[in-house]
Amino acid sequence: MSAEPLLQVEGLRTHFFTKAGVVKAVDDVSFSVARGKVMGLVGESGSGKSMTGYSIVGLVDSPGRIVGGRILFDGVDLATLDPVAWRAIRGKRIAMIFQDPMMTLNPVLRVDTQIVEAVLAHAGVSRESALARAREALVRVGIASPDERLRAYPHQFSGGMRQRVAIAIALVNQPDLIIADEPTTALDVTIQGQILFEMQKICAESRTALIWITHDLSVVAGLADTVCVMYAGRVVETGRVSEVLGQPLHPYTRGLIDSVPSRNRRGEPLRQIPGMTPSLLGMGEGCAFRERCPAASAACASSPGVAELARGRFVRCFHPVGEPMAAASP
Amino acid sequence: MISPVTGEQPPLVALRDVSKRFASRMDLASRIAARVGAGPAQQVVRALDSVSLEVKQGEVLGLVGESGCGKSTLGRIVARILEPTSGERFWRGAPYSAFDGRSQRAERLAIQMIFQDPFASLNPRLRIVDVIGEAPVVHGLIGREDREAYVADLMARVGLDASTAKRFPHQFSGGQRSRIGIARALAVQPQFLVCDEAVAALDVSIQAQVLNLFIRLREELSLTYLFISHDLGVVRHLSDRVAIMYLGRVVELATAGEVFARPNHPYTQALLAEIPTIEPRKRAFQPIRGEIPSPLSPPPGCHFHPRCPHSTERCRREQPAFREVAPGHFSACHLNDTK
Ligand SMILES: Nc1ncnc2c1ncn2[C@@H]1O[C@H](COP(=O)(O)OP(=O)(O)O)[C@@H](O)[C@H]1O
Ligand SMILES: Nc1ncnc2c1ncn2[C@@H]1O[C@H](COP(=O)(O)OP(=O)(O)O)[C@@H](O)[C@H]1O
Ligand code: SF4
Ligand code: SF4
Ligand SMILES: [Mg+2]
Ligand SMILES: [Mg+2]
């Protein structure tokens, strides 16, 4: 890639120091996102997607802590910022959208009050122009009668409408980067389709970079330019969406894609990944996927590093799919 | 019961003109508003509006539609958890009421329901052996002394380690809890399972495992399923026939092949266009407009008309009839009259 990426995460580690032991929620995570591009961050529940997002926006709470790595945002390492410096960036240059819009919205405040406050927190403008921006943000996310909605309370809205308002708040200060944490997971496919449509348009027009966190590969397929697949706190595969979905190199990615119903003959048993995701508590040495992996060998008892197998294709595996299994022990 | 006239078996379950109304659930804010006269008083939710549907012996009937359209209500009515406000239900051609007597326990247990959130439907203070084994003892299907062996059998059948039978639900993962829920339903030897979003809460890799379990159990136990899901990919994979619901009504019904290859109803067409697929191609999402209206005040005529790209004056006035547009393919849309 020629242009300097807007966000570059390198070797990020966010661990939770619980009574029961250390939970390595994010463990050596690296990826980058350029302006105007969409990156899908995919993985099953507990794989560390949200904590990766929270680390970038400085929302990791005790007993969790960033213990290693760099988060280079437009040249500044966010991992070294103090809370005050964080607050100046969050909501202004980096915005986060949560699965539950009520994480963003206050149920007892009118929508106009909430959006205007979000504007005034970061911009020295008059209340009138803040209100004008609020209205404009609602229009951008496809809300039909913005003036009426501005005067309403969040509890009067459907789930889909609430999420639109939360997205409008994220957009209102024209951030450079938006991190969206499964914002359409709880919504119907038709509403999800509408929101994905708006987000795609907005990011392309305003050159906003977008990280879309989801467990759903099919959402990423239609929306993202690049994808980063996580398993048990680690990134196992990254690359362009068409390449990763078209020719997955990591056995876990491959297993996920193979189990999607449309990739199977109707009515027949789906190809499935056996077993279940491991607990991150006190995870030992070795590839975290090895108990479930059809390609596992003795080598997999130590932890594989990340290798760039083709330009922009990073894989963390001793025996990537499609390579001869020569390395496997007898 | 074989019909003397046609020699055909009656459907396993049939609904005729089933409607269900609820007094609306009010949240705190609307209750306060209603009390000070600032909002509407209690209203009526028309969750099901004259639904007729048949499920044939041995088939998987998929039921899809957006949330709030009445899928769970329909499932619960089929499973006898809810009584319809009006309309009739039949089991093998005989009205449900014929099985109210003491001796017809087997018929009453024949339909079991499996829910989305297996944890919410499991009593956290009961051990798994009790969760699964209590109902068959109470209903006299097995003796108390046979309970542990019976439960061990069921656990093995659904892919659970029988040595964990003495544990509590919270000691199991989401996928294992689903299996517990399935074993509990199977324990009373049902013939028909109503699966309500049974895999929706599961991770992708675990979802595939549980879907495979449903596929295997259907064959092994000759089960019939009403498979409710908002996930069209899952429904397409599993179902023989598919019913599409919109705002309390079934708007289209056909074999899965037909529905996905030749959707007739404009709502079905819109829904299918929204199925995200993993085929790698960046696309511009082309969504249908608007949201599903409130069942408190459904639009007149065709319920879909405010969102339909083809709606006409007639659609706003007149409810379209649900009729056969090709052999075995039913749809409720006025456009079919002009074809
Ligand atoms: N407060 C906490 N204490 C201990 N562990 C936590 C805490 N919050 C999150 N974790 C752990 O971090 C891991 C990653 O969580 P998360 O990022 O939320 O996963 P995802 O978003 O992919 O579902 C999980 O295994 C979870 O158990
Ligand atoms: N017990 C109830 N009391 C009041 N309203 C209900 C009740 N159960 C369901 N409803 C309403 O009936 C409609 C259909 O609900 P449901 O059958 O759960 O839909 P679905 O399963 O398709 O999401 C919704 O508007 C819902 O709010
Ligand atoms: S490192 Fe080994 S166990 Fe891990 S994914 Fe690769 S082949 Fe499988
Ligand atoms: S009856 Fe009219 S509004 Fe309803 S689906 Fe058909 S064309 Fe659309
Ligand atoms: Mg999460
Ligand atoms: Mg439901």
Retrieve residue B35's tokens: 């009390």
Alpha carbon distance A165, A163 (integer Å)? 5
Using one digit for the tens of pLDDT, what is the confidence trace for B164-187? 999 998 888 888 899 999 999 999
Q: Which residue has the higher pLDDT, A194 or B28?
A: A194
Using one digit for the tens of pLDDT, what is the confidence trace for A238-253? 999 999 999 999 999 9
Helix (H) or strand (E) holding A66: strand A64-73
Q: Which residue has the higher pLDDT, A129 or A188?
A: A129
Backbone angles phi, psi at A230, to 5 degrees: -110, 145
Q: Which residue has the higher pLDDT, B281 or A11?
A: A11
**Is position A14 within any domain?**
no
Average pLDDT over residues B138-156: 95
pLDDT bin (cut points 50, 70, 90) of residue B118 is: low
H-only helix segments in B295-336 = 313-317
- pTM beyond cutoff 0.95: no
What is the whole-number distance in angstroms between the Cα of residue A292 and the centre of ligand 6? Answer: 33
pLDDT bin (cut points 50, 70, 90) of residue B33 is: low
* B212 vs A160, A216, A270: nearest CB: A270
Which pLDDT belongs to residue A276?
85
Helix (H) or strand (E) holding A190: helix A189-206
Please give the sequence-ordered ranges of beta strands (E in DSSP) within B247-316, or none if there are none.
249-255
User: What is the length of chain B?
Assistant: 339
Distance from CA of B29 to the nearest CA of A (A): 8
Q: Is the peptide bond before A63 cis (omega within 30 degrees of 0)?
A: yes
For residue A42, list its beta bridge partners. Answer: A214, A229
Mean pLDDT of chain A: 91
Which pLDDT belongs to residue A328?
35
Dihedral sign (CA A48, A53, A56, A62): negative
**Is position A64 within any domain?**
no
**Is position A121 within any domain?**
yes
Residue in the block written with tokens 């507990």: A46
**Distant-in-sequence, close-in-space partners of A82: CB < 8 Å, separation ≥ 6:** none
**Residue B146: is it exposed, middle or buried by C-beta count within 10 angstroms (0-12/13-18/19+)?**
middle
**Distant-in-sequence, close-in-space partners of A27: CB < 8 Å, separation ≥ 6:** A13, A15, A48, A233, A234
Alpha carbon nearest to ligand 1 atom 6, residue: A16
Using one digit for the tens of pLDDT, what is the confidence trace for A68-103? 999 999 999 999 988 888 888 888 999 999 999 998
Retrieve residue A289's tokens: 């996927």
What is the whole-number distance in angstroms between the Cα of residue B20 and the centre of ligand 6? Answer: 14
Alpha carbon distance A24, B106 (integer Å)? 51
Distance from CA of B25 to the nearest CA of A (A): 14
Which pLDDT belongs to residue B4?
54
* A191 vs B206, B207, B291: nearest CB: B291
Using one digit for the tens of pLDDT, what is the confidence trace for A144-170? 889 999 999 998 888 888 999 999 999
Nearest to A103 by CA among A169, A51, A43: A169
Q: Which residue has the higher pLDDT, B8 or A266?
A: A266
Helix (H, G, I), strand (E, B) or coil at B92: coil
Q: What is the ipTM metric for this complex?
A: 0.85
Which pLDDT belongs to residue B281?
56
Instruction: Name the least confident of A115-119, A326-330, B316-320.
Output: A326-330
Instruction: Name the least confident of A20-29, A162-171, A256-265, B274-283.
Output: B274-283
Which pLDDT belongs to residue B81?
93
- Measured in whole angstroms, the distance separating CA B102 from the mean position of its chain's CA atoms is 28
Average pLDDT over residues A34-52: 95
Which pLDDT belongs to residue B54?
97
pLDDT bin (cut points 50, 70, 90) of residue A329 is: very low
Contact between chains at B204 and A215 (C-beta distance less than 8 A): yes
Which pLDDT belongs to residue B319?
96
DSSP string, A288-301: TTTTT-TT--GGGG
Retrieve residue A194's tokens: 């509408």
- Cβ atoms of A218 and A40 closer than 8 Å: no
Which pLDDT belongs to residue B38?
59
**Is position A311 within any domain?**
no
**Is position A301 within any domain?**
no
H-only helix segments in chain B = 28-35, 71-78, 105-109, 128-138, 147-157, 174-186, 204-221, 232-238, 256-261, 266-273, 313-317
Which pLDDT belongs to residue A330?
34
Which of A39, A163, A189 to probe the B interface (max B CBs under 10 A)? A189
Which pLDDT belongs to residue B34?
62
Which domain does A127 fall in, by range?
102-174
Helix (H, G, I), strand (E, B) or coil at B89: strand
**Is position A202 within any domain?**
no
CA distances from B122 to A33, B136, B172, B184, B278 (A): 44, 16, 12, 9, 34
Does the structure show a pLDDT above 50 at A327? no
Q: Which residue of B has its CA nearest to A189?
A: B274
Amino acid, single-letter form, for residue B169: P
Which pLDDT belongs to residue A126?
93
Does the structure show a pLDDT above 70 at B274? yes
Q: How many domains does chain A have?
A: 1
Amino acid, single-letter form, for residue A2: S
pLDDT bin (cut points 50, 70, 90) of residue A325 is: very low
Does the structure show a pLDDT above 80 at A208? yes
**Is position A225 within any domain?**
no
**Is position A168 within any domain?**
yes
Retrieve residue A85's tokens: 């410096």
For chain B, which domains are there? 13-26+43-264 (3.40.50.300)
Contact between chains at B285 and A200 (C-beta distance less than 8 A): yes
Does the structure show a pLDDT above 90 at B293? no
Using one digit for the tens of pLDDT, what is the confidence trace for B197-247? 999 888 888 999 999 999 999 999 999 999 999 889 999 999 999 999 999
